[in-house]
Amino acid sequence: MPFEVGDVVEGTVLNITDFGAFIQLPEGKTGLVHISEVANTYVKDIREHLKEHDKVKVKILSMDSSGRISLSIKKALPKNNKEREPKDFVWQSNRNYNTNSSFEEKLLKFLKDSDERQQQLRKNFDSKRRNTGYRKSNGY
């Protein structure tokens, strides 16, 4: 049974290195799972996740003309559909704009609110700027 990119197959961990694990596939072929393809979280030491002779499911990522096979354990894991479904997003404003107002009225209200916030930010920024910095003291 020849393999194709995208197939999920079961293999056995043959050898573990610092950069990944070599997996024995059916038909005597061998592929490499890079350390970044072992788990969905950061893997500092691959030996904490895999041991020699472990049975693992892997997804075939690529195969080149020289016979090298790139594998992934994390992409062979079943996807949790609840995490993948887009959530219904309802935008809610924290401002109380009258929905019956005209565009011009809404724009004026927005500009007024914006100016008030800008003034408050400038006031806070100026007061912080006055209270920091190098102050010359006696004799220095």
pLDDT at 133: 56
106 and 73 within one domain: no
Looking at the fold, whether 63 and 103 belong to one and the same domain comes out as no
Q: Would you state the pLDDT for residue 139?
A: 56
The total number of structural domains in the chain stands at: 2
104 phi and psi, to 5 degrees? -60, -40
Instruction: Flag whether 86 is in a domain.
Output: no
111 lies in some domain: yes
Which residues of the chain are modeled with pLDDT < 70?
Answer: 1, 80-99, 128-140
Whether 43 is in a domain gets the answer: yes
Residues 68 and 111 in one domain: no
Same domain, 109 and 68: no
pLDDT of residue 80: 65
- 90 domain-assigned: no
Q: Are residues 65 and 122 in the same domain?
A: no
Range of the domain at 27: 8-77
Q: Is residue 84 part of a domain?
A: no
Assess if residue 2 is contained within a domain. Answer: no
Question: Is there a domain that residue 22 lies in?
Answer: yes
Indicate whether this model's pTM tops 0.95.
no
Indicate the residue type of 132.
Answer: T
Residue 100 near residue 44, CB atoms below 8 Å? no
pLDDT of residue 60: 93
Kindly give the pairing relationship between strand 69-72 and strand 30-34. parallel
Give me the phi and psi of 90, to 5 degrees please: -120, 115
Express the helix, strand and coil content of the chain in percent, nearest 5 each: 30, 25, 45
Interatomic CA distance for residues 131 and 120, integer angstroms: 17
